[in-house]
């Protein structure tokens, strides 16, 4: 999640893309194309953009260049530009070697991509030495990367589906709170609604994913998910605005948040607190680049109070009342041996209610994240402690849900579904 827009455990893993089953015959087809590209998601641990150590990020394994070089990229629906660490003196071992690719093309300062105003960048595009189009990207954890715009061929599967001329950032320097951990990924795959995002450039009208809640295969699908066994999806419309607002990210997947329920009862907060204000602050974004779900201060305070009241005498809070896990999560407990069944009974469910009737229900072990020493923290955090003026629905609370981003009809579809079962039905290996 880029800082210009907003802000990314119970289970320590990440998602890797492997081979494909169905192949999109021609990525340049118009938006009414019917074929889809399906890839399995595998689980591993890797950090994400937010300042949580050893977090879970969703990553895709792609091939870039000619001959192809393998790259592990964080899948981020909160970012508009894909980028790779490019080989250099200070680059991590996993970097992309642009000099070894015969299809690599740097984008000059005179190119329309560089000369036209690009408001989607948090910092202005400039012209660097060598007539290169220079970009800087900054993120919510105060990390940043910079380099030059370029184009090359991207491949997402083993059967020849290519996306030639894909624009991305070839980054040669940056700063990060966790440089050693961040070096495990080669870069980031931007998937929001910006014109330079990978999904916009590739021309797919829809894409979906199912994030496994267990150590088994999930799914990433580019194209339409025409499967009867996935129906019905509950759709919530994307919010669109025409007037530019300083604190509203117009290319994010913004939906309408209507209520937060705890144990089926709405929090005691005014409905107006869920609406963006006159500056655009307070939008609600679906962001795969953010791990947990973050709420604006007043709503988080109400959830915290109610959750503590309902777990009093059941769970033992951490003794230090000033303890805040990684600066954003301060509802934490000491818990010994407890089963998932016990958690389902002991903990009140939290439901995120969206416009159009779509809901995300969080219960049991997904409400808590183990941070070591028998300590667990609530997987909802205070976005204002992150310096983010928005509600952010992270990928931890999207586990074992089919999530569809319908770009043509400007809506997001949700339904609870076993990702392991989806993988089997699509013929993917577990």
- 3-state DSSP of 186-235: CEEEECCCCCCCHHHHHCCCEEEEEECCCCCCEEEEECCCCCHHHCCCEE
Residue 35 has pLDDT above 50, yes or no: yes
* Domain(s) of CATH 2.40.70.10: residues in the chain: 15-228, 229-418
**Sorting pLDDT into bands at 50, 70 and 90, what band is 39?**
low
DSSP-assigned beta bridge partners for residue 354: 257
Higher per-residue confidence, 422 vs 403: 403
Residue 225 is encoded by which pair of tokens? Answer: 């998910």
Alpha carbon of 193 to those of 125, 128, 283, 314: distances in Å?
A: 19, 27, 15, 44
CA distances from 180 to 71, 176, 252, 353 (A): 17, 9, 29, 38
Half-sphere exposure of 218 (CA within 13 A, CB side): 29
Return mean pLDDT, the chain: 81
pLDDT over 80 (residue 17) = no
C-beta of residue 384 within 8 angstroms of C-beta of residue 297: yes
Select from 108, 139, 140, 142 the least CA-distant residue to 125. Answer: 108
With a cut of 90, say whether residue 274 has pLDDT above it: yes
Distance CA 317, CA 314 (A): 10
Share of the chain above pLDDT 90, in %: 49
Q: What angle do CA 113, 116, 117 make, to 5 degrees?
A: 115
Residue 233 has pLDDT above 70, yes or no: yes
Give the closest residue to 51 by CA, choosing from 368, 297, 294. 294
Sign of CA dihedral 335, 340, 346, 351: positive
**What share of the chain in percent tops pLDDT 70?**
78
* 277 to 12, 118, 246, 247, 302: CA distances (angstroms): 36, 25, 11, 9, 19
Tokens standing for residue 373:
């020493």
In CATH, the architecture of 229-418 is Beta Barrel (2.40)
Span of 27-36, 57-66, 285-294 with lowest mean pLDDT: 27-36
Residue 129 has pLDDT above 70, yes or no: yes
Q: Sorting pLDDT into bands at 50, 70 and 90, what band is 1?
A: low
Q: Report, at the CATH architecture level, how domain 15-228 is classified.
A: Beta Barrel (2.40)
Which of 60 and 283 is assigned the larger pLDDT? 283
Residue 334 has pLDDT above 80, yes or no: yes
**Closest by Cα among 159, 168, 169, 171 to 202:** 168
What residues does 189 pair with on adjacent strands? 75
The pLDDT of residue 25: 33
Give pLDDT, residue 192.
94
The residue behind tokens 């307070």 is: 282
Strand-pair partners of 329: 325
What pLDDT, on the 0 to 100 scale, is given for residue 118? 58
Cα separations (Å) of 381 from 18, 77, 110, 113, 164? 32, 20, 44, 37, 40
pLDDT at 316 over 60: yes
Per-residue pLDDT, 321? 78
**Residue 363: what pLDDT?**
93
Q: Beta 380-382 vs 293-295: how paired, if at all?
A: parallel
What's residue 18's pLDDT?
A: 35
Closest CA to 173 of 87, 236, 68: 87
Whether the CB-CB separation of 337 and 302 falls below 8 Å is answered with no
**Does the pLDDT at position 267 exceed 70?**
yes
Q: Half-sphere exposure of residue 81, counting CA atoms within 13 Å on the CB side?
A: 30
**Residues designated as active site:** 76, 287
Q: Please report where in the chains the tokens 């997947």 appear, as a residue.
A: 253
What pTM was computed for the model?
A: 0.86
Question: What's the pLDDT score for residue 57?
Answer: 66
Q: How confident is the model at residue 258 (pLDDT cuts 50, 70, 90)?
A: very high
**Cβ proximity of 40 and 71 under 8 Å:** no
Answer yes or no: is pLDDT of 165 > 90.
yes
């Amino acid at each position: 999640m880029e800082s210009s827009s907003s802000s990314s455990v119970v289970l320590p893993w990440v998602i890797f893309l492997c081979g494909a089953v169905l192949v999109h015959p021609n990525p340049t087809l118009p938006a009414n194309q019917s074929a889809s590209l399906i890839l399995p998601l595998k689980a591993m641990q890797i950090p994400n953009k937010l300042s949580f150590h050893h977090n879970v990020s969703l990553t895709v394994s792609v091939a870039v260049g000619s001959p192809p070089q393998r790259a592990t990229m964080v899948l981020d629906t909160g970012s508009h530009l894909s980028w790779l660490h490019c080989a250099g003196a200070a680059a991590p071992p996993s970097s992309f070697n642009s000099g070894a690719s015969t299809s690599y093309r740097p984008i000059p300062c005179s190119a329309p991509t560089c000369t036209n105003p690009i408001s989607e960048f948090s910092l202005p595009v400039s012209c660097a030495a060598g007539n290169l189009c220079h970009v800087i990207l900054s993120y919510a954890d105060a990390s940043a990367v910079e380099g030059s715009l370029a184009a090359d061929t991207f491949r997402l599967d083993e059967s020849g589906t290519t996306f030639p001329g894909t624009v991305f950032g070839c980054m040669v320097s940056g700063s990060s709170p966790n440089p050693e951990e961040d070096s495990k990924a080669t870069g980031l795959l931007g998937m929001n609604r910006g014109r330079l995002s990978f999904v916009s450039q590739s021309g797919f009208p829809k894409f979906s994913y199912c994030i496994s809640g267990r150590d088994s295969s999930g799914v990433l699908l580019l194209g339409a998910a025409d499967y009867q066994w996935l129906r019905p999806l509950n759709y919530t419309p994307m919010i669109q605005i025409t007037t530019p607002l300083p604190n509203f990210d117009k290319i994010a997947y913004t939906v309408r948040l209507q209520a937060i329920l705890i144990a089926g009862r709405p929090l005691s907060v005014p409905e107006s607190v869920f609406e963006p204000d006159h500056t655009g602050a307070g939008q609600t974004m679906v962001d795969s680049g953010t791990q947990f779900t973050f709420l604006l201060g007043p709503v988080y305070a109400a959830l915290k109070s109610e959750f503590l009241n309902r777990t009093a005498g059941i769970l033992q809070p951490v003794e230090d009342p000033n303890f805040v896990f990684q600066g954003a999560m301060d509802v934490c407990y000491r818990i010994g041996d407890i089963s998932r069944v016990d958690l389902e009974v002991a903990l009140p469910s939290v439901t995120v209610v969206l416009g159009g009737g779509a809901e995300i229900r969080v219960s049991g072990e997904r409400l808590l994240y183990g941070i070591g020493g028998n300590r667990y923290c609530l997987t909802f955090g205070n976005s204002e402690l992150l310096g983010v003026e928005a509600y952010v629905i992270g990928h931890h609370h999207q586990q074992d849900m089919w999530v569809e981003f319908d770009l043509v009809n400007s809506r997001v579809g949700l339904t609870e579904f076993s990702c392991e079962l989806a993988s089997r039905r699509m013929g993917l290996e577990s």
